[in-house]
Amino acid sequence: MNNREVIVLSNLEELSRAAAEKFVELAQASAGGGYSFKVALSGGATPKSLYALLANESEPFRRAVDWGKANFFWSDERCVPPDDEASNYRMANEFLLKPLGISPANVHRFKGELEAQEAAADYERILRLIFNTHDSLVPRFDLIFLGMGADGHTASLFPDSEALDEADKIVAAPFVEKFLKFRLTLTPPVINRAANVIFQVAGTDKADVLREVLEGEYNPRKFPAQIVNPKSGKVFWFLDEAAAEKLILTRKYENFTGRLRR
Ligand code: 6PG
């Protein structure tokens, strides 16, 4: 996969710093063209330190981005209200959006408090409006952030999920057996229409699945993160050493940047 770059850093803090540099590079490139920078944020625990780094006044990243030009969306969400501690919106708001003082007009969250199918239809309507894409046209994000679970899921595309087969809708509300709950997620057609995708994956508990995802047989029903392959875009895998410890082929044959010396 020549649109894929794998970058291994010594730990989560260094991983977040490298991902922040890539974020700034992409945001500046987009702003340089006078466009609004449309980015989908990921949830879970791993992105917290990146968000905090981008908003940190004593770090260089905050001053390097024209935040007024950035529009924020989410790759997925839990079916909870925005003030719930499980809310991906709440996490990003606390670590990134509020500290940066991002205008609410530039923040486009899933309404996790609504009934799942209604929330998915609502978000599809919002995306189509903002991206000005109707019918079969698929919105093109400048950047989509993703994580990966130890089961190989990404966004809320879990193993054997019906959302993996979604070809028309841009937002889905799959029922996740594992949690006996619905989730809200961007679908593969949208993720694979993005100009850039950044995965952040850390921790030894993900090493086995990461090797399957990056080096194993193609089986996205079992390893949903494998479905991410933007047709005219790039994928950046920012990994820490612990998550990358089982990678073999990638180190040898791919756009692989060993541990960056800082
Ligand atoms: C979510 C996420 C999900 C996440 C992975 C990894 O809502 O949970 O968006 O896809 O990225 O579960 O989560 P951690 O970073 O917490 O390991």
- Amino acid letter, 10: S
Residue among 88, 95, 145, 148 to mutate when testing ligand 1 (max atoms within 8 A of CB): 148
Hey, whose CA ends up nearest to atom 7 of ligand 1?
43
- Res. 32 pLDDT band, cuts 50 70 90: confident
The answer to whether the CB of 196 is under 6 A from ligand 1 is no
> 170 and 120 in contact (C-beta within 8 Å)?
no
The CA distances from residue 92 to 47, 97, 108, 109, 235, in Å, are 9, 6, 12, 10, 22
Cα separation, 80 vs 68, in Å, equals 28
Angle of the 12-32 helix axis to the 48-55 helix axis, nearest 10? 60
* Ligand 1 pocket member 16 (CB < 6 A): no
Atom of ligand 1 nearest to the CA of 42: 9
- For residue 220, CA distances in Å to 158, 187, 188 come to 9, 13, 11
H-helix segments, the chain: 12-32, 48-55, 88-92, 98-100, 116-130, 188-191, 207-215, 241-244, 249-253
Residue with tokens 């981005």, as numbered in its chain: 65
Single-letter code of the amino acid located at 56: N
User: What is the structure's pLDDT at 256?
Assistant: 57
Question: Are the CB atoms for 1 and 225 separated by under 8 Å?
Answer: no
119 phi, psi to nearest 5 deg: -65, -40
The pTM assigned to this predicted structure is: 0.96
34 pLDDT band, cuts 50/70/90, is low
Measure the CA–CA gap between 64 and 129, rounded to whole angstroms: 29
Q: Is the CB of 220 under 6 A from ligand 1?
A: no
Q: 43: Cβ below 6 Å to ligand 1? A: yes
The atom number, within ligand 1, closest to the CA of 47 reads 15
17 alpha-carbon distance from chain centroid:
16
34 Cα: distance to centroid of ligand 1 (angstroms): 32
Mean pLDDT, rounded, for 8-27: 96
Q: Report the atom number in ligand 1 closest to the C-alpha of 46.
A: 15
70-81 residue pLDDT tens: 999 999 999 999
> Under CATH, which number does the domain 4-256 receive?
3.40.50.1360
Does the pLDDT of residue 42 top 90, yes or no? yes
